[in-house]
Structure 1
């Protein structure tokens, strides 16, 4: 079944694993949860030898276990969960894994945009059925949030701060009262949330000021801040994990040399340090330099090597992908990358050798093409 999907949701991708965990789970479960809090954590963070399981459960989200535990505890209460952090820190992936483990359904999602309306989080109407039969429950189209309420599941709201204040205000009543009124109907005009219902929202900390959350809405959420991964070992594990998935999805047999992965990690670490020391936004790359962007750079290089190269990942290709991905503004980003290539990569290639000279040449060529 997953082979027929471009991207299977977590509950389908890991269905066999979730079935097995559910079969051995003898711990108390809150509400209608499919797994206990302990098993939810184990599913997300992976098993350890001390867990004494008959099979290994791989780690799927890489970060501080305290963030996951606090998220799980929040969802077991009557408060919503807000995951906030920079782009590419894994907020949406963590939200999907939590919903998959708790409800076995991570697809009840509302995407916050400037065009998101109150109907998207409550309900709308099937116009043809309304004309034919009038307004009734049968002619109503429930939102993903309303569906989650009716079934006692986890609803998700992506990019909450990108939605307007009217939409955010509508969410306050849902989180507070745990029901939605349908004034168009005379009877059966209230949808009550069933036990197990909660909302996981995500917010981009770089979008602060787009549509700030009101104090009233903030009080309905427990905040879990997801920091940018700066630990090289953790970041390398994330990149490897995603790269294996990429190669499997595209059915590509290509090895990622550890030396090139080290070069990628070091380059991002250097650029982050430069951004932290920059005195103005013009001296910073527009990119958030997140782990997700590292994965994007590596994916681009792997696909380019497979389709247009000799099916071997090389330093020149990796450098070209890095420059092409991060150079978004002209001339600002190009100037920053050019300065980095001459001031950091060039001395390092002379001092350390290895793959660095080829990486230097690949970056120079890419910058010359874009200039």
Structure 2
């Protein structure tokens, strides 16, 4: 596991989870590994008021009430549905919750247009069925069925990407808490053990793709994860995630505050400009999420380490446009107008404020962006 490209949260933070478990004397719901408060501390980080011998760093950045509501929901009979725009940290929060509660975040069904009911319930080992017939040995349980049998958390990513008949397969699981296997004569019902629940995620931009039925909605508590607009919180998220992503390259993570301000301000301006657009053709296809900012910054840092001496506003501009411009000519046209209006305005503001250093960085950012777009036209 130590050589894996990406460890699951329960492996990555094993020492923290073991420590929290060793000091946790509070009552635990069902067979949870940690009490509700310790789950919250694992995700949101410890404070001096917690009186802990070691600090637990924050791993998910957002409104703490959303985390608390999620924890309470998972201790109830209702499933948890995390819904929000792409890149708002829904899957990351789901992984952290599952890791803290049951030490296993890998029981996941990835929802797509091709997801079948078998992937939610069970399937069969065809060769064993041909040789010996249908039996418990030839049964292949789904991740959801395994979580039912062990009383742990199952995860369902991108629920609204699945067709309605696949979604409906969850209704009986969430309400009746068992799965019938009519092909077997004995032991043909798998009952959910105490502690079982489901965390599902849904992309709010997929509304209308495969809407959830009223029956399924009633079996979930909805927790909406908003796009982070607070600069301080967004900066913390970017620092945290970028540092983790770059560990595999053994790079020193060093981004000046001025460059980070340019990135944050540009994304904020892009969101406002896109929100004011009258049609989809007049806005970027990108969701302009915090996750995309992290991707832009990671790309810029890698480029600067591989090919430049240092990270500059020129490299940042090239990475930003290269990452966000996906449609040609729509996105190129949008970005070109944005660059020569809003970015130009930011540079002028710094010049008028006599902030020579910042004005120079914005000017380099402006010129590099225009040069990058010239190649795309």
Residue of structure 2 equivalent to 1:175: 174
Residue of structure 1 equivalent to 2:324: 326
1: CA distance between counterparts of 2:281 and 2:106? 39
2: CA distance between counterparts of 1:35 and 1:290? 31
Residues 265-303 of structure 1: CA deviation (Å, up to 9, x unaligned): 000000111112112212111110000000010011111
1: CA distance between counterparts of 2:244 and 2:103? 21
The gaps in structure 1 that reach 5 residues or longer are none
Residue of structure 1 equivalent to 2:306: 307
Q: Equivalent of 1:337, from 323, 327, 335?
A: 335
Within 5 Å, give how 1:215-226 maps onto structure 2: 215-226=214-225
Q: 1:347, CA displacement in angstroms?
A: 2.8
Conservation of the 8 A alpha-carbon contact between 2:243 and 2:253: no
State yes or no: 1:366 paired with 2:366: no
TM-score when normalising by structure 1: 0.98
Q: 1:306, CA displacement in angstroms?
A: 1.3
Q: 1:254, CA displacement in angstroms?
A: 4.4
2: CA distance between counterparts of 1:348 and 1:123? 57
Conservation of the 8 A alpha-carbon contact between 1:44 and 1:60: yes
1: CA distance between counterparts of 2:234 and 2:246? 18
2: CA distance between counterparts of 1:143 and 1:333? 41
TM-score when normalising by structure 2: 0.97
Conservation of the 8 A alpha-carbon contact between 1:11 and 1:18: yes
Alignment RMSD: 0.8
Conservation of the 8 A alpha-carbon contact between 2:82 and 2:200: yes
Moved over 4 A (4+): none
Q: Secondary structure at the match of 1:137?
A: coil
Equivalent residues, number: 369
Residue of structure 2 equivalent to 1:351: 349
Residue of structure 2 equivalent to 1:31: 30
Answer with 94-103 or 360-369: which moved more. 360-369
Q: 1:253, CA displacement in angstroms?
A: 2.1
Change (3 A) 1:50 1:254: closer
Q: 1:249, CA displacement in angstroms?
A: 2.0
Q: 1:348, CA displacement in angstroms?
A: 2.1
Q: Secondary structure at the match of 2:59?
A: coil
Within 5 Å, give how 1:1-371 maps onto structure 2: 1-2=1-2, 4-310=3-309, 312-352=310-350, 353-371=359-377
Conservation of the 8 A alpha-carbon contact between 2:81 and 2:200: yes
Q: 1:231, CA displacement in angstroms?
A: 0.6
1: CA distance between counterparts of 2:176 and 2:249? 46
1: CA distance between counterparts of 2:372 and 2:133? 62
2: CA distance between counterparts of 1:237 and 1:355? 22
Residues 185-231 of structure 1: CA deviation (Å, up to 9, x unaligned): 01110000000000000000000000000000000000000000001
Q: Secondary structure at the match of 2:144?
A: helix
2: CA distance between counterparts of 1:344 and 1:147? 52
Q: 1:362, CA displacement in angstroms?
A: 1.2
Conservation of the 8 A alpha-carbon contact between 2:44 and 2:57: yes
Q: Secondary structure at the match of 2:202?
A: strand
Residues 16-42 of structure 1: CA deviation (Å, up to 9, x unaligned): 110000000000000010000000000
Residues 334-353 of structure 1: CA deviation (Å, up to 9, x unaligned): 11110111001123223311
Q: 1:45, CA displacement in angstroms?
A: 0.2
Conservation of the 8 A alpha-carbon contact between 1:254 and 1:313: no
Conservation of the 8 A alpha-carbon contact between 2:121 and 2:145: yes
